[in-house]
Every structure is written in C-alpha cells, then in structure tokens.
Amino acid sequence: MKVSIDKTKCIMCGSCVAICPEVFEMKDDGSVDVKDQYKGVDIQDPILVEKIKQAQLACPATAIVTEG
C-alpha cells in the first residue's frame, strides 16, 4: 500500500500521527506528512497497513490518500 497526504485538505490535526507515528510525522512548522522513508514506498507490513487504514478512517479531512 502506498500512502500520501493531500496537503490541500489536511488541517494538521495530528490524529494520523497519534495513530501511526511510524509512518506519519508532524514537522517543526506544524505541517503533517508521510515520513521520507515511506514516501512512494509500497508498504507491505500488515501491522503498518492496518494502522494506516485506521488513520485514514480517523482523518477528519479525508486527506490521507492510499493506493494498492
């Protein structure tokens, strides 16, 4: 599964970071993004995939985009 954040939608609430800090991070300026090591990567770890799905469901702005 590949994951990215639509920055035009993200309201920087931090929920995804709280749910899955392995993949999502809040930058010093308060913006939230996928960690560099996971950008464009097809994530296979089933635990991470499940946590990403949970973060996606919890995102109040439907800003988490997944494919695969």
In sequence order, which residues have a C-beta less than 8 Å from that of residue 68 and are 6 or more positions away? 1, 2, 42
Amino acid at the residue 3: V
Angle (CA) 46-50-22 rounded to 5° is 85
Q: Does 10 bind ligand SF4 (CB under 6 A)?
A: yes
Binding mask 34-63 for ligand SF4 (x = CB under 6 A): -------------------------xxx-x
Total number of residues binding ligand SF4 (CB under 6 A)?
14
In angstroms, give the least distance from the CB of 20 to ligand SF4. 9
In angstroms, give the least distance from the CB of 55 to ligand SF4. 6
